[in-house]
Every structure is written in structure tokens, then in C-alpha cells.
């Protein structure tokens, strides 16, 4: 049974992440929001510290490298609080500091989660230590990842990639990019595989960096692949097209990354709530948890409603991560967490801007920035609408062909 308290073994990691967010990320948050596309050099020291923790075994699953489910592990009875739960809890704390800076962390890219989810043991060892971006989205296909048109053609011991990817987080800075491409368009979803393309590979070109509403500290690239040759060994997982498995191999990546994105939204929203409570109290508006909301001021009642919404997203996120740790299928719960947290994050951060009036809208505080940052968390890794569609399919027991 899931325990809703933070596990004792994870608390030191969570406390450490909070200290990093407060003392390292918050102080430079505004600086790199204004200096879009400038790499935050302060993160190099932080990355070195995380590498040291990982080597010592003390990280407990912090960051993108910690979300792999150990398929070879011997089943044990009882509750397990493992790498997935540790990852979401630490990411919540880091995003209490700054979402864009968290997304800029070396070797903590979403592509690392893809590698952790799909790669075989040999590939895990070979790509250990790489910083991997993830390239899924293409022009014109929206959130329908199964409809992508980037192709991968087998040629001897290599695959030849052709296509264009947009909105690639850390696409310029990362050491490599995990590219989703189809081996055979006529075979549908089952033919979609992911490939690790290392930086500098001929035929891969970063066309431009996007100017964005939020997470401006993070670079977001458009990348083209023109007869880009990749070693066949860089195809993650099995090269076989299994029509019975369908899109399951690719979806395993989302089952692990969607709780992480939900955690980002939960952390950013928590930052807004914490600051808003302080500002309201300084204005003489007390929030009393022992009295009904309707008997308090409108501002206090609104704040209590926002906190309740936040709590629901927080618990769903923990549930999806806990299920992964305990080897339970979590596709529906991962989408539930992502859908709830994404919408909650946008609602909470913008309402906090409203509650704090001129302080919320000005750059005197970070509230307006958190409002801008939170919107992307409702969009990438599958939009709100896509998550609801996935949940509906799971609840109704319908396939993607039956419910579109």
C-alpha cells in the first residue's frame, strides 16, 4: 500500500535538493530568464556534485538517470520506495527553485529518461554519463507522436535518418539527441523506434533556437536530419518490429517522463503558493486552516482552494511514481498525474499573480515568471487533451483506433 509520507531514506535527498533550489537556483533565476540562450555556467558545479553523489550511491535516484525500472531485479514482497519516487520528489524541490534551470542541468535531459526506459544493458553502460535531449515533436503533427514522419532506413551497419524535429529541449547544449523515427511508415506505431544521435554527427544540424514565453534559461532547438548516418547499435532496445507490442516500447518512455513533468509543475506551483501566502500575510490577510473557507476573506478562500488543487496533483504524481517503483503498470496514472498537474500548475501560478496584484505582475517578485514557466508543463510530453484521451482509453478499455 502506498504511504503518503516522504520515505525516510529519501528525506536527505529532498532536503538537499531544496537547499540547492533556494541557494543556487533562485538567486540566478531572473538573470538567465533575461539572458535567454546563455548557458548557466553555475550549473557545471552543481552537475559535478550530482555526479559525485551518483558515483557514491548517495543520490537515491535524483534526476533523469534514476527512472529506470530494473527488470532483472528479484521480486520482493512489500512496499518499495525507489528511484522513481526519489526522482519526482527531488525534481519538485528543484523546480521550486527554477524549472528552466532544472531543464538545463547537464546529463539530466529528458533523453536520459528515454535511454533509461528503453535501452538494453550494453547501451546503458555505453551511454552512461551522456547528456541526452529528446526529439519527438515535428511540424504539423501536434501531439500525435505516432504519426511522426522522420524516417530511419537500414543501410548495412547503420541507419540513415531524414526528417525535422522541433521544440527539442537542450537540443543545442546536449551531448546527444534521442530521435524518434519510423522504420516503416506503413507499419504504423509499431515501427517507431528511438535512436541516440551524438552531437557532431554529419547530417544533424541545429537550425535555430526558439524564443519562448517561459523556461527561457533552457535552450529549445529546431533540428534537421539529412542523410544522417547512425550506427545500428544506437537504436535503443530491440530493432524488431513487433505489431503485437505496438507502440508500447515508445510509451514506456512516457510512462517514466510524464510523472517527472508533473513533478515540475507541482514544484513550480508550490513556489507560487509559498510566496503568495507570505505576501498575503504581510498585507494582513491571514489564512486559517481551522475555519471554513467561506467564513474567511475572498483571498484566503481562493488560496485554500488553490492549495487543495495542488494537493490533488501532488498525490497523483506520487502515486504514478510509486507504481513504477513497485512494477505496477502506470500508464493511466502517469497520464492522470501529467494532466492534473499541468492544468493545476497553470491555474495556480496565474491565480497567485492575480492575488498578489501589482507585486504579482511586476518583476519585483518571481510570480509572473512562474506563471510563464508553468504553461509549457501543460503542453510538452503530451498535451492536456492527449492525456485525457489516454486516460479515457484506459478506463473504457478501448484501443487508439477505437477512440481517437
Question: For position 210, which CATH number holds?
Answer: 2.40.110.10
Classify residue 217: in a domain, yes or no: yes
- Among this protein's residues, is 368 annotated catalytic? no
Q: Are residues 191 and 100 in the same domain?
A: no
Classify residue 401: in a domain, yes or no: no
Judged by DSSP in three states, 286 sits in coil
Q: Which of 94, 126, 158 is the last residue of a domain?
A: 126
Q: Are residues 274 and 366 in the same domain?
A: yes
Residue 148 domain boundaries: 132-234
Q: Which of 97, 126, 155 is the last residue of a domain?
A: 126
Q: Considering 138, 365, 381, 402, which one is annotated as catalytic?
A: 381
Q: Which CA distances in Å does 209 have to 105, 219, 372?
A: 18, 7, 18
Integer Cα distance of 81 and 218 in angstroms: 30
Q: Are residues 229 and 258 in the same domain?
A: no
State the pLDDT at residue 74.
43
Judged by DSSP in three states, 314 sits in helix
Q: Are residues 215 and 265 in the same domain?
A: no
What is the pairing mode between strands 176-182 and 132-135? parallel
Q: Are residues 87 and 157 in the same domain?
A: no
- Write out residues in the chain with pLDDT < 50, as ranges: 56, 60-67, 71-74
Q: What is the CATH number of the domain that holds 327?
A: 1.20.140.10
Max CA pair span of the chain: 73
Integer Cα distance of 58 and 122 in angstroms: 24
CB neighbourhood size of 204 (10 A): 23
Integer Cα distance of 292 and 71 in angstroms: 48
Q: Are residues 153 and 178 in the same domain?
A: yes
Q: Are residues 163 and 96 in the same domain?
A: no
C-alpha closest to that of 127 among 235, 241, 252: 235
Q: Are residues 320 and 381 in the same domain?
A: yes
Integer Cα distance of 57 and 66 in angstroms: 11
State the pLDDT at residue 62.
44
All three cell numbers of 207? 537550425
Q: Are residues 329 and 196 in the same domain?
A: no
Number of independent structural domains in the chain: 3
Classify residue 324: in a domain, yes or no: yes
State the pLDDT at residue 78.
64
State the pLDDT at residue 49.
75
Q: What is the pLDDT of residues 127-158, one digit of tens each?
A: 998 999 999 999 988 777 778 999 999 999 99
Helix ranges (H only) for 22-152 are 26-34, 42-56, 83-97, 99-103, 110-118, 121-126
Q: What is the CATH number of the domain that holds 16?
A: 1.10.540.10
Classify residue 313: in a domain, yes or no: yes
Q: Are residues 199 and 110 in the same domain?
A: no
CA 401, distance to chain mean position in Å, is 27
CB-CB contact of 236 with 64 (8 Å): no
Beta bridge partners of 181: 193
Instruction: Give me the helix-helix angle, 331-355 and 367-376, nearest 10°.
Output: 150
Amino acid at each position: 500500500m502506498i504511504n503518503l509520507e516522504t520515505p525516510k531514506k529519501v528525506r536527505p535527498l529532498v532536503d538537499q535538493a531544496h537547499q540547492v533550489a533556494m541557494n543556487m537556483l533562485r538567486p540566478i533565476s531572473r538573470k538567465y530568464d533575461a539572458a535567454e540562450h546563455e548557458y548557466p555556467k553555475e550549473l557545471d558545479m552543481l552537475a559535478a556534485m550530482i555526479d559525485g553523489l551518483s558515483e557514491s550511491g548517495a543520490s537515491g535516484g535524483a534526476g533523469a538517470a534514476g527512472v529506470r525500472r530494473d527488470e532483472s531485479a528479484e521480486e520482493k514482497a512489500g512496499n518499495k520506495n525507489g528511484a522513481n519516487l526519489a526522482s519526482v520528489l527531488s525534481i519538485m524541490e528543484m523546480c521550486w527553485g527554477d524549472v528552466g534551470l532544472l531543464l538545463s542541468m547537464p546529463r539530466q535531459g529528458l533523453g536520459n529518461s528515454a535511454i533509461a526506459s528503453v535501452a538494453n544493458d550494453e547501451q546503458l553502460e555505453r551511454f552512461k554519463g551522456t547528456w541526452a535531449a529528446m526529439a519527438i515533436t515535428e511540424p504539423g503533427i501536434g501531439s500525435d507522436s505516432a504519426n511522426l514522419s522522420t524516417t530511419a532506413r537500414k543501410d548495412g551497419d547503420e541507419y540513415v535518418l531524414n526528417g525535422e524535429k522541433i521544440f527539442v529541449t537542450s537540443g543545442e547544449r546536449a551531448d546527444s539527441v534521442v530521435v524518434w523515427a519510423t522504420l516503416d511508415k506503413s507499419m504504423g506505431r509499431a515501427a517507431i523506434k528511438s535512436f541516440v544521435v551524438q552531437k557532431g554527427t554529419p547530417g544533424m544540424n541545429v537550425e535555430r533556437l526558439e524564443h519562448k514565453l517561459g523556461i527561457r534559461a533552457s535552450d529549445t532547438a529546431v533540428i534537421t536530419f539529412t542523410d544522417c548516418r547512425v550506427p545500428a547499435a544506437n537504436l535503443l532496445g530491440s530493432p524488431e518490429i513487433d505489431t503485437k507490442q505496438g507502440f508500447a516500447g515508445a510509451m514506456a518512455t512516457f510512462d517514466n517522463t510524464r510523472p517527472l513533468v508533473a513533478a515540475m509543475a507541482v514544484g513550480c506551483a508550490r513556489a507560487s503558493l509559498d510566496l503568495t501566502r507570505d505576501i498575503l500575510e504581510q498585507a494582513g490577510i491571514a489564512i486559517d486552516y481551522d475555519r471554513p473557507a467561506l467564513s474567511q476573506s475572498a483571498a484566503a478562500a481562493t488560496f485554500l482552494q488553490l492549495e487543495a488543487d495542488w494537493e490533488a496533483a501532488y498525490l497523483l504524481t506520487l502515486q504514478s511514481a510509486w507504481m513504477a517503483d513497485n512494477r505496477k503498470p502506470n500508464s493511466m496514472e502517469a497520464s492522470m498525474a501529467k494532466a492534473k498537474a499541468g492544468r493545476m500548475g497553470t491555474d495556480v501560478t496565474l491565480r497567485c499573480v492575480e492575488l498578489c496584484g501589482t507585486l504579482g505582475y511586476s518583476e519585483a517578485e518571481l510570480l509572473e515568471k512562474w506563471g510563464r514557466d508553468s504553461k509549457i508543463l501543460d503542453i510538452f510530453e503530451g498535451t492536456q487533451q492527449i492525456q485525457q484521451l489516454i486516460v479515457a482509453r484506459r478506463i473504457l478499455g478501448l484501443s487508439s483506433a477505437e477512440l481517437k
